């Protein structure tokens, strides 16, 4: 058995820090640590053969401006900050970033009041350049689109998140850190005041560990002794591609008004960085944690999901929408029916199936789909249990927040920001590691701060 100890615990020296997960959030956290603590040894552990292998590398590349999120929420604040950081980073590193703009279109009369409410929310979030336009105004922006009215966000953009993640990884390596691939974590154990992670016969001990495991967030966190919830429920998002010259009809991004009480933004039109025009994604319950196709089926995953009470409660609330999504997945005609309300000139013969991504949707025991970021802290282990969209847009701001919240910043002072939730009574051997104050928030105080302001978006 290969044992490796990274650093040796000493309050006078910089800590060694492990990060599980080389998606864009994990790599952004690693980059932030190397910038703030240049003497620290930072190692990212990733089970795949490359970085950005799952959610980061299978999304539509949209940079969200902050339209959808509850004003004042962590999600709204991190999105606003994240957009600015991401745009500056892409400019500095000559990565693709195109402000193509977005229209959120109301196609039916009952959607207009929801569009007005969404506009008020976006204004409260400080989304720059926002306009409310009528049918003629939206056709000036997208000549081939139709609708009763729209919100125009000129600052909404597209980028290549996988390229951004690779740039983060290169920065980590250049700063003396490491991205260790093909390291699927299967055990997390206390080692005195430190923490040991293992992959098969290989074991590595670090001072601190940060879990950014995305689709495997619940499984990896429970290895460290965290509580079972929230459980990750994977939803597959399938795309169609406009395969002919009609791709030129779309100038930027066209979205529907989100359905109330449903956590996804609906099938939309996206022009990618490479010029491809996609329609999607839908949201179909995946049959495996990384279930990119219908035939990707894991009995272990399904049994684990069935054992979670929240899964049945979610199904009872959303079964009609779930059935609708499955029908659209199986029938391309059904998939296109709704999207043609916005672009009637793009029809069934103009599109072809074009891959899928899987979204990690956190689900509480009561069947609630977790809307905001959620971080648990277990001694030297910090677990990012939920990092929903716009996590890619917000990744650099999330990294700042995580590093601040766990006290790994230069002056050793914990800032007055929304703190992680301390998970008490678990992983007791780690309890003595803290030598600084813990800013812990209980469920009740967190609920009081967010009372009446929760909404689920993608």
- The tens digit of pLDDT for each residue in 78-123 reads 999 999 999 999 999 999 999 999 999 999 999 999 999 999 999 9
Is there a single domain that holds both residue 378 and residue 251? no
22 domain residue, yes or no: yes
- What percent of the chain has pLDDT above 90? 70
Q: Where are the beta strands (DSSP E) in 134-244?
A: 149-153, 157-159, 178-180, 187-191, 194-199, 202-206, 208-211, 231-242
Is there a single domain that holds both residue 390 and residue 444? yes
The residue out of 306, 329, 363 marking a domain boundary is 363
The pLDDT tens digits of the residues spanning 120-134 come to 999 999 999 999 999
Q: What is the mean pLDDT of residues 427-431?
A: 35
How far is it, in rounded angstroms, from Cα 458 to Cα 390? Answer: 7
Tokens representing 354?
């074009």
On the question of pLDDT at 191 being above 60, the answer is yes
Q: What is the mean pLDDT of residues 139-163?
A: 96
Is there a single domain that holds both residue 215 and residue 347? no
On the question of pLDDT at 184 being above 80, the answer is yes
Reported confidence tier of residue 189, pLDDT bands at 50, 70, 90 = very high
Residues forming a β-bridge with 180 = 45
Q: What is the CATH classification number for the domain harbouring 337?
A: 3.30.9
Reported confidence tier of residue 301, pLDDT bands at 50, 70, 90 = very high
End-to-end C-alpha distance for the chain, whole angstroms: 43
Is there a single domain that holds both residue 224 and residue 238? no
How far is it, in rounded angstroms, from Cα 352 to Cα 396? Answer: 34
pLDDT value for 425: 41
The residue out of 363, 394, 412 marking a domain boundary is 363
On the question of pLDDT at 455 being above 60, the answer is no
Q: What is the CATH classification number for the domain harbouring 202?
A: 3.50.50.60
Is there a single domain that holds both residue 355 and residue 258? yes
pLDDT value for 408: 60
The residue out of 333, 363, 393 marking a domain boundary is 363
Is there a single domain that holds both residue 283 and residue 396? no
266 domain residue, yes or no: yes
Is there a single domain that holds both residue 248 and residue 392? no
202 domain residue, yes or no: yes
The pLDDT tens digits of the residues spanning 262-293 come to 667 778 899 999 999 999 888 899 999 999 99
313 domain residue, yes or no: yes
- Quick check: 269 and 350 in contact, CB under 8 A? no
On the question of pLDDT at 356 being above 90, the answer is yes
113 domain residue, yes or no: no
Pairing of strands 253-256, 231-242: unpaired
Reported confidence tier of residue 373, pLDDT bands at 50, 70, 90 = confident
pLDDT value for 429: 36
For the ranges 138-147, 167-176, 288-297, 426-435, the lowest mean pLDDT is seen at: 426-435
pLDDT value for 240: 94
How far is it, in rounded angstroms, from Cα 17 to Cα 205? Answer: 9
Reported confidence tier of residue 433, pLDDT bands at 50, 70, 90 = very low
82 domain residue, yes or no: no
On the question of pLDDT at 420 being above 80, the answer is no
Reported confidence tier of residue 188, pLDDT bands at 50, 70, 90 = very high
pLDDT value for 30: 98
Q: What is the mean pLDDT of residues 225-233?
A: 93
129 domain residue, yes or no: no
DSSP codes, 242-268: E-SGGGGG--SEEEEPPPTT-SS--SE
Domain limits for position 330? 233-363
How far is it, in rounded angstroms, from Cα 419 to Cα 298? Answer: 35
Reported confidence tier of residue 325, pLDDT bands at 50, 70, 90 = confident
pLDDT value for 417: 37
Is there a single domain that holds both residue 43 and residue 172? yes
Q: What is the mean pLDDT of residues 206-218?
A: 96
How far is it, in rounded angstroms, from Cα 366 to Cα 309? Answer: 7
Longest dimension (CA), the chain: 69
pLDDT value for 327: 87
Is there a single domain that holds both residue 252 and residue 357? yes
Is there a single domain that holds both residue 171 and residue 199? yes
Tokens representing 408?
């790994």
Is there a single domain that holds both residue 293 and residue 431? no
456 domain residue, yes or no: no
The number of domains in the chain is: 2
The pLDDT tens digits of the residues spanning 337-352 come to 888 899 999 999 999 9
Is there a single domain that holds both residue 323 and residue 387? no
On the question of pLDDT at 442 being above 90, the answer is no
- Quick check: 18 and 191 in contact, CB under 8 A? no
Looking at every residue in the chain, the average pLDDT score rounds to 86
Between the alpha carbon of residue 105 and those of residues 33, 188, 268, the distances in Å are 41, 47, 10
How far is it, in rounded angstroms, from Cα 45 to Cα 182? Answer: 8
CA angle 152, 157, 158 (to 5 degrees): 140
**Whats the size of the chain, residue-wise?**
458
- Quick check: 25 and 395 in contact, CB under 8 A? yes
On the question of pLDDT at 174 being above 50, the answer is yes
């Amino acid at each position: 058995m290969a044992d490796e100890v990274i650093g040796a615990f000493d309050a006078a020296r910089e800590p060694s820090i492990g990060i599980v997960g080389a998606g864009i959030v994990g790599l952004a956290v690693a980059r932030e640590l190397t910038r703030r603590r240049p003497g620290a040894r930072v190692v990212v552990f990733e089970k795949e053969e490359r970085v950005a292998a799952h959610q980061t590398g299978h999304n539509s590349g949209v940079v969200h401006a902050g339209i959808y999120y509850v004003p004042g929420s962590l999600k709204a604040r991190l999105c606003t900050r994240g957009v600015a950081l991401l745009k500056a980073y892409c400019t500095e590193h000559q990565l693709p970033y195109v402000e193509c703009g977005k229209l959120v279109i109301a196609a039916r009369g009952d959607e207009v009041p929801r569009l007005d409410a969404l506009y008020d929310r976006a204004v409260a979030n400080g989304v720059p350049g926002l306009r409310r336009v009528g049918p003629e105004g939206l056709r000036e922006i997208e000549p081939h689109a139709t609708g009763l009215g729209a919100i125009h966000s000129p600052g909404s953009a597209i980028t290549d998140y996988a390229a951004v993640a690779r740039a983060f990884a290169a920065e980590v390596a250049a700063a003396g850190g490491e991205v260790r691939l093909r390291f699927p974590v299967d055990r997390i154990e206390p080692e005195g005041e430190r923490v040991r992670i293992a992959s098969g016969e290989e074991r590595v001990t670090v001072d601190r560990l940060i879990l950014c495991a995305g689709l495997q967030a619940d499984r990896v966190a429970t290895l460290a002794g965290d509580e079972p919830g929230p459980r990750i429920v994977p939803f597959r998002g399938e795309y169609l591609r406009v395969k002919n010259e009609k791709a030129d009809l779309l100038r930027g991004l066209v979205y529907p008004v989100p359905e109330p009480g449903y956590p996804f933004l609906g099938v939309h039109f996206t022009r990618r960085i490479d010029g491809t025009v996609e329609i999607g994604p839908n949201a179909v319950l995946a049959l495996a944690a990384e279930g990119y196709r219908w035939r990707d089926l894991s009995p272990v995953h399904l049994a684990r999901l069935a054992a979670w009470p929240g899964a049945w409660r979610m199904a009872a609330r959303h079964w009609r929408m779930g059935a609708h999504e499955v029908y659209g997945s199986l029938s391309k005609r059904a998939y296109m029916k709704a999207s043609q309300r916005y672009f009637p000139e793009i029809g069934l013969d103009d599109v072809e199936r074009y891959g899928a991504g899987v979204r990690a949707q956190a689900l509480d025991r009561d069947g609630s789909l977790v809307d905001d970021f959620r971080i648990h802290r277990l001694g030297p282990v910090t677990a990012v249990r939920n990092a929903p969209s716009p996590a890619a847009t917000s990744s650099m701001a999330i990294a700042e927040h995580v590093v601040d919240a766990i006290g790994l910043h230069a002056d050793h002072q914990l800032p007055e920001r929304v703190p992680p939730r301390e998970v008490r009574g678990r992983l007791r051997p780690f309890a003595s590691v803290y030598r600084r104050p813990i800013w812990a928030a209980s469920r009740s105080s967190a609920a009081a701060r967010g009372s009446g302001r929760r909404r689920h978006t993608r």
